[in-house]
Amino acid sequence: MDHQPKFFENLSGTGKAIGVLTSGGDAQGMNAAVRAVVRMGIYVKAKVYFVYEGYQGMVDGGDNIVEVSWESVSSILQVGGTVIGSARCKSFRTHEGRLQAAYNLVQRGITNLCVIGGDGSLTGANLFREEWSGLLEELAQNGKIDAEAVKKYAYLNIVGMVGSIDNDFCGTDMTIGTDSALHRIIEVVDAIMTTAQSHQRTFVLEVMGRHCGYLALVSALACGADWVFIPEYPPEEGWEDTMCVKLSENRARKKRLNIIIVAEGAIDCHNKPITSEKVKDLVVQRLGFDTRVTILGHVQRGGTPSAFDRILASRMGVEAVLALLEATPATPACVVSLSGNQAVRLPLMECVQMTQEVQKAMDEGRFLEAVRLRGKSFENNLNTYKLLAHKIPDAELPKTNFNVAVLNVGAPAAGMNAAVRAAVRVGITEGHKMFAVIDGFEGFAKGKIKEISWGDVGGWTGQGGSILGTKRTLPAKYLEKIAEQMRTNNINALMVIGGFEAYESCLQLQEARSRFEEFSVPICVLPATISNNVPGTDFSIGADTALNAIVETCDRIKQSASGTKRRVFIIETMGGYCGYLANMGALAAGADAAYIFEEQFDIRELQANVEHLTEKMKTSIQRGLVLRNENCNENYTTDFIYQLYSEEGKGVFDCRKNVLGHMQQGGAPSPFDRNFGTKISAKAMQWISKKLKETYRKEPGKVFANTEDSVCLLGMRRRNLVFQPVAELKSETDFVHRIPKEQWWLKLRPLMKILAKYKTSYDVSDSGQLEHVAMLPKEAVPAAI
């Protein structure tokens, strides 16, 4: 749909006052949302107020409701929890309490509220909005306010953002804090695995989630747990026997440890609680395994927010201010939520009702319905977990006589191993023989190929890098030898996991089909690269881990300057010609500028940035952060920019530079990358099975696939996972610079600039439409993992 871009310059907040509060349980990333609301509000010339201690502060008034400035939210982006405090508030539940709150807001002219909290907090806000005009009239009758005020402040606008680590709110794929909580859980699981391995122990881990099993389910998927207990999907009658058989089978297969994950709200099919202690006692009594319980508790709420949560909260905060500016008395209270990779607005009460429906379904024992109501993303996580965790006995497996090979191509990226594991296990379940190719196409040509079994890929999800080995070599120079290996091993399909080289390789194989009919088989590419520069997808496996590495380092670097005043850091990131890491890293680390290849810059812009930083140093914020993509400009090198800033900043600030290098490629994969890799790989394998069935010819008894749509790349586009023929993606690719011609994240660039106090124009064409919950296309969208 070609529409004229709509810019928010036309939206002015002059004369408006916005109150921002955090309520209910805290969650990492709430501060990023508060910061975005404050800065965006001030940017559009509105007044912005902090409401301290949630609704309690609104009722108490006084120093709890304070006007804030740009600097008030400096340095809070990397802090967990909420700096403006949150409290459970009994008095707001009473009419008197709400009357007092309305009086306190009117005194300051606040008629726009941005509430960051869970469904309880948002329901309270909606009730407050419905009662507002009545409350004002009552205040006027009591002589507290005059008739003029009743007229002037007649309507209260409310926009909600969901901050909750449980991800228990319907209508959004991810709530603020969920990804960070998963980081905490996975850090613990990875640490426990090494000790469990040493002693051949079984560990029972209890994670948060009183009414929602999202954290338990996704962490089980991300660490390959043996068993998981969640409230939405209780185990079948007799689960005790089934679980014990499964655990002892795993031990018999030489697996030295077992991990069982229990959500705190786990129940059996009679709605009786299943506790971690109960599970431990069962394992000890029946199997005699050395078993330990670890309850994670509030660790999950703590710590610094992940890159994903900071970007999500920043996007939502800006969107919330836009929604408040556009709100009319007729628009219902809305929540800003995430669908796939898009910020959308949904009616608050529709989301709340749907969230309550899930609980009702669980209470009434309609568990399948509860899973369905949680949304497509939750359902897919559950189905993928069931597919990968439990091996079907060999005798019961179908036999297709197809051989499928998996290989890694290009530079290593965290999450590749999770993708290989999922491909192998789904392939075996579908009845194929799975083969692993060592060292990419180079290894393929040399015949480094072997059959790989279910057990061979156990424990792979948490491993960084590429266990199969990977090379950047393209197949073009080995075509004959690769064809020969495909013939010798009778390979009927290929899954290629890698970056831009993987995409190019598959184009080469497709073009070589006329000379080598061995390549006329289904081929699927999975994008895996830290650079996120593959056409046809918004996200690549590995980019999230790299982004977290960058953000973590930026946090440390910023902290190193807290003792020394007035210092600017120039940080160089990887990414080839693609500015994704530099741009998103800058947004998540609260940088002042990011230089990227996609947005050409000249000496005047560099000069303007230096002046901007000089101005900033006059305030109480006395440090600066500048990110530069490694190939953003061949002449304005990192050294050049460092020297320019050093010279121009003399007497005002000093400069340091940092080249992050290969630390961005290493490390254990983030929960997002493990799950994204696992889910798209499972989906790709099912596509390969379908294509194999479609293209098998009885005479001469082999697979023959030579159409364009038999070589596809599986990518995530906005809200959906889509298979796209690589031949069609050619027109979208800049092959010289190895980047897509159009990149979605460039739309977020103005966001980074606004939050760093630059005047810029921001295209808001995508926002502003209020959608309805039921109508959301819920195809498994892993922007929420």
pLDDT digits (tens, 9 = 90+) for 271-302: 999 999 999 999 999 999 999 999 999 999 99
> Residue 779: its pLDDT value, please?
39
AA letter at 126: N
Contact of 256 with 296, CB cutoff 8 Å:
no
> Residue 454: its pLDDT value, please?
94
Q: Over 50: is that where the pLDDT of 4 sits?
A: no
Is 40 part of any known ligand binding site?
no
Q: Over 90: is that where the pLDDT of 62 sits?
A: yes
> Residue 783: its pLDDT value, please?
40
> Residue 91: its pLDDT value, please?
95
Q: Over 60: is that where the pLDDT of 777 sits?
A: no
Question: Can you give the length of the chain in residues?
Answer: 785
Is 662 part of any known ligand binding site?
yes
Is 749 part of any known ligand binding site?
no
Residue 403 per-residue DSSP state: E
CA distances from 177 to 339, 343, 778 (A): 16, 16, 21
pTM given for the model = 0.94
Contact of 115 with 351, CB cutoff 8 Å:
no
* Domains (range + CATH), the chain: 8-175+305-359 (3.40.50.450), 178-300 (3.40.50.460), 396-541+670-742 (3.40.50.450), 547-665 (3.40.50.460)
Q: Over 80: is that where the pLDDT of 165 sits?
A: yes
> Residue 13: its pLDDT value, please?
77
DSSP one-letter string for 269-311: TTS-B--HHHHHHHHHHHH---EEEEE-GGGGG-SPPPHHHHH
Residue 198: band (very low, low, confident or very high) from pLDDT cuts 50, 70, 90:
confident
Sheet holding 567-573, edge to edge: 593-595, 623-629, 567-573, 654-659
> Residue 762: its pLDDT value, please?
64
Query: Which position has the higher pLDDT, 330 or 435?
Result: 435
Looking up tokens 């408006």 gives: 16
Residue 302 burial by Cβ neighbours in a 10 Å radius (0-12, 13-18, 19+): middle
Give the count of alpha carbons within 13 A of 767, CB side only. Answer: 28
The residues, ordered by sequence, that sit 6+ positions from 438 with a Cβ below 8 Å of its Cβ are 448, 449, 450, 468, 469
Q: Which of 18, 28, 21, 36 is nearest to 121 (CA)?
A: 21
Is 670 part of any known ligand binding site?
no
Is 737 part of any known ligand binding site?
no
Mean pLDDT, residues 636-658: 94
Q: Over 50: is that where the pLDDT of 776 sits?
A: no
The residues, ordered by sequence, that sit 6+ positions from 22 with a Cβ below 8 Å of its Cβ are 30, 34, 54, 82, 84, 85, 86, 116, 117, 163
Mean pLDDT, residues 547-553: 97
> Residue 7: its pLDDT value, please?
56
Q: Over 80: is that where the pLDDT of 726 sits?
A: yes
Is 498 part of any known ligand binding site?
no
Is 630 part of any known ligand binding site?
yes
Is 767 part of any known ligand binding site?
no
Looking up tokens 């007649």 gives: 154
> Residue 173: its pLDDT value, please?
87
> Residue 462: its pLDDT value, please?
93
Residue 389 burial by Cβ neighbours in a 10 Å radius (0-12, 13-18, 19+): middle
Q: pLDDT tens-digit profile of 63-113?
A: 999 999 999 999 899 999 999 999 888 999 999 999 999 999 999 999 999
- Mean pLDDT score across all residues of the chain: 92
Helices 416-429 and 671-695 meet at what angle, rounded to 10? 40
Q: pLDDT tens-digit profile of 370-390?
A: 999 998 889 999 999 999 988
Rounded distance between C-alpha atoms, residue 333 and residue 338, angstroms: 17
> Residue 116: its pLDDT value, please?
96
> Residue 6: its pLDDT value, please?
53
Q: Over 60: is that where the pLDDT of 784 sits?
A: no
- Residues with active-site annotation: 166
β-strand 449-451 against 433-437: which pairing, if any? antiparallel
Sheet holding 227-229, edge to edge: 227-229, 258-263, 202-207, 291-295
Is 664 part of any known ligand binding site?
yes
* Percent with pLDDT over 70 in the chain: 96
Q: Which of 570, 571, 628 is nearest to 595 (CA)?
A: 628
> Residue 768: its pLDDT value, please?
56
Q: Over 60: is that where the pLDDT of 194 sits?
A: yes
> Residue 342: its pLDDT value, please?
82
Mean pLDDT, residues 149-174: 93
Q: Over 50: is that where the pLDDT of 426 sits?
A: yes
Q: Give the H/E segment covering residue 424.
A: helix 416-429
> Residue 306: its pLDDT value, please?
97
Is 531 part of any known ligand binding site?
yes
Query: Which position has the higher pLDDT, 651 or 562?
Result: 651
> Residue 197: its pLDDT value, please?
82
